[in-house]
Structure 1
């Protein structure tokens, strides 16, 4: 199934799916209520369903009265039993497929992927592809390979009846037959478990292909661009940009991190802007797809997931308010809560969103329910950076006044991002190089995702430490009207707004740890 016939079929499927979605959007509450009824009816005789009175649930209100909002740690005892092979714990039967992911606030998570849940993930990928076809035409899209940069398709035994792997790899290993011939980098490359080896193999394949679509996390795609360019150069091909290599490439499907910091880098690497389809996939369920030209992520209501939204100010309360899709307000921040066909019940996903439009209901991801830095998929939280700083200070006899950690985004000359630690020292470290190294090693020991991104400096460069002159934080807080014991310096941020303000405040006194001045900050300071 190739070329124009396949493209025409894709276009027809897109029009048909659009009509279906428009019917759902006219009454989203009815779709969601029907979804909840199906979930509860299916799981009523599971151990979880019996413990929570599923047989007596007749409405959303009944369900919310019986099932409290729980995070992963509170689901974990149930899930561990299901992963060990017990039947009908949170969902009927045994769950064979599981994915392991590093949680932002709860460490590594083991998430079930039942056949019903997998169908939702596949549907999300299909909707993203249909949107891409709507943007550039199905014929052009199906006229060449489509590269998906994701996890390994290799699966590992989890127990006598189950297996575990990466979600993106699991999806890639079970592509519909009609798209297997267009899937790049191919099953051989995708099955390589070592990330650096897999990336090298993917780059070698991509350097020989006439790609039509790219899909992946922007931070990793930038690394791939560098590897492909290096591959071409080694083969004697000097390119102005990768647009010469991939002249028919027109569309990008992306998610995981915000695209805005990468937009300029992508344009420089590819020589043009691509059409973009943003997606919001989570291991627990595929949440949203960009369906509208105006932007925003459309909450997908027919993937088998029932959604609730908790106002951010209610987080931590014993009985938080729980709003359905019919009750949310535009512009207000909510924590995402989901009940899924994998046996997650009123599960707090850990993400915060803000709704931006209705008909269809669209949202923007605003962050995590706790402070974090996740510019490159590293999922680093406050506790981890604080522990790293304490260890570095102890080992180098340093003392700090204040500090914050911000992402340092990639540029065309340096395609790998990293972290910048902005620190006001009371006593500087006796061994500056050791200080930065200990920060790096400690974070790697505490955080699986950070360790993966830092391995071989493939995904992130080593952290850089910027020393701010005495009084910088105080002056910045004063200027921002944030003096007083009710205000704190954010230990981690996911953008550079605060970092840029601090660098301006520090002025000519800003320097790199172990150096007299920092030339790279000059432009920031002067603006």
Structure 2
């Protein structure tokens, strides 16, 4: 054991004790975070506009501060972008994380002196918890790759801006710099396909032990490594033992990854976003990710089925239940207040509080009142492929409301197979049965002859990559929605077949 790995074990044990301390007092921890947030922001423009000086409790906060998404918070953000101080948080942000907006172009998410360290510490602590949990630390001596956006930053009114992953690249600690790949020059390549090819050339002869990124884009890297060498990734990198990912559910990709690697490797799931680093997998044998209650983020939760009602109840951490879908609302040291992140979560544990991401409040299918969410389609795919040779590269689901002829409407599953099922009809039946078991509304619609059984449309090899490229979202932190309530993605994929 090297000095570096031995030191990592000692540090991991220390950090684990600190985490256990706040995780064992969740309500008290969140109360402390809440009070500090209100106190520090009471003299900002937002704080004055919403009478922070008179807020004493989360109930007061809920009464005075409505839930907002980015578009609704935008009038304040625009003042920050214009260079004004003390708008959402004292002073000016250190950075803006620039992301693509859905309705009004770019979104500028502030990162402050207070919030930036929480992103770095959570990423570090995820790895340290893995060491504390498993006792494995030799990987710290190998090379580590983080597939991310360009670290080159622009500037707007004296505030640097760029992609979150590019900003974080400036905070890689010194003890990891010698291990970190790819090179700065390669990381700055904007075109994703050119960048992946360059990363392959830089890493193919290195001793890679940790690989991190969104599964769909890491898959692209693995495929090009295999094409370059004719070998499994596990042969190219015999000491590769840890895959770190976030952004999407890994389970639909797991079978294909294990085939590309040639063996199983441990994995750590993360829940990061420009708005905050919310959770990470702290135990290998527990489902869900540990919610970061001590990271300058105050959480509120609204039941998904109540979210669009006139006055939905906002719950705090001590009021949530297991296995219920909630929209997660955050208030942070970056100056986001009662902010609707758009993600839906479920709690898998309350001691400590662990979550899974179940979908997006805007990503669902309910063309007929079925209320299908991402977690359900991912679970159906996992069950349908379990114990088979079937391997999936990517998939998405959309409703077909107006099929040709006299057919009943149905859910259309667009699937890119690496290895197809021997009997497509049996495979579709397995998917459909799982959906019926998970979603009683869907079951009732089939029983009532409102819908017919789902149908599968095969997407050509690399078809999803072509689609993402066509909309300018190939690579980086971009993710394909698992399902949509319209045919926008479906229509684009249909054209790929022609």
Q: Is structure 2 residue 127 aligned with structure 1 residue 164?
A: no
Residues 142-183 of structure 1, C-alpha deviations (whole Å, 9 max, x = no match): 1111111111111122x2212221111111122111111111
Alignment partner of 2:127: what SS?
helix
| Compared CA separation, residues 105 and 124, structure 1 to 2 (3 A) | farther
In the other structure, the counterpart of 2:195 is: 198
Question: Gaps spanning 5+ residues in structure 1: where?
Answer: 233-237, 414-435, 461-488, 495-510, 516-527
Question: Gaps spanning 5+ residues in structure 2: where?
Answer: 366-373, 379-391, 421-458
In the other structure, the counterpart of 2:16 is: 18
Q: Is structure 2 residue 262 aligned with structure 1 residue 271?
A: yes
In the other structure, the counterpart of 1:112 is: 110
In the other structure, the counterpart of 2:415 is: 408
Residues 484-526 of structure 1, C-alpha deviations (whole Å, 9 max, x = no match): xxxxx954799xxxxxxxxxxxxxxxx99989xxxxxxxxxxx
Deviation at 1:186, TM superposition (A): 2.5
2:16/2:129 contact within 8 Å kept: no
| Compared CA separation, residues 449 and 281, structure 1 to 2 (3 A) | farther
Q: Is structure 2 residue 471 aligned with structure 1 residue 451?
A: yes
Deviation at 1:245, TM superposition (A): 0.9
| Compared CA separation, residues 378 and 114, structure 1 to 2 (3 A) | farther
2:394/2:416 contact within 8 Å kept: no
Alignment partner of 2:418: what SS?
coil
In the other structure, the counterpart of 1:175 is: 172
Alignment partner of 2:329: what SS?
strand
1:212/1:249 contact within 8 Å kept: yes
Between the two proteins, the alignment pairs up a number of residues equal to 424
Q: Distance in 1 between matches of 2:264 and 2:102?
A: 32
Q: Distance in 2 between matches of 1:459 and 1:67?
A: 31
1:290-329 maps to which residues of 2 (within 5 A)?
A: 290-292=281-283, 293-329=285-321
1:97 to 83, 95, 98: 95
Residues 313-337 of structure 1, C-alpha deviations (whole Å, 9 max, x = no match): 2212342211111110111110000
Query: What RMSD, in angstroms, separates the aligned Cα atoms of the two structures?
Result: 3.8
Q: Is structure 2 residue 27 aligned with structure 1 residue 29?
A: yes
Deviation at 1:454, TM superposition (A): 5.5
| Compared CA separation, residues 405 and 71, structure 1 to 2 (3 A) | farther
In the other structure, the counterpart of 1:337 is: 329
Q: Distance in 1 between matches of 2:303 and 2:164?
A: 29
Q: Distance in 2 between matches of 1:106 and 1:135?
A: 44
- Deviation >6 Å, runs of 4+: 373-382, 397-401, 511-515
1:124-523 maps to which residues of 2 (within 5 A)?
A: 124-134=122-132, 137=135, 139-157=137-155, 159-232=156-229, 238-239=230-231, 241-292=232-283, 293-372=285-364, 402=409, 404-409=411-416, 411=418, 451-453=471-473, 491=486
Alignment partner of 1:452: what SS?
coil
| Compared CA separation, residues 178 and 28, structure 1 to 2 (3 A) | same
1:68-107 maps to which residues of 2 (within 5 A)?
A: 68-103=66-101
Alignment partner of 2:160: what SS?
strand
In the other structure, the counterpart of 1:62 is: 60
Q: Distance in 2 between matches of 1:512 and 1:160?
A: 43
| Compared CA separation, residues 490 and 23, structure 1 to 2 (3 A) | same
Higher mean C-alpha deviation, range 260-269 or range 105-114: 105-114
2:396/2:415 contact within 8 Å kept: no
Larger Rg: 1
Q: Distance in 2 between matches of 1:242 and 1:349?
A: 36
Q: Distance in 2 between matches of 1:223 and 1:18?
A: 34
Q: Distance in 1 between matches of 2:495 and 2:101?
A: 32
Q: Distance in 2 between matches of 1:283 and 1:291?
A: 21
Q: TM-score, normalising length from structure 1?
A: 0.72
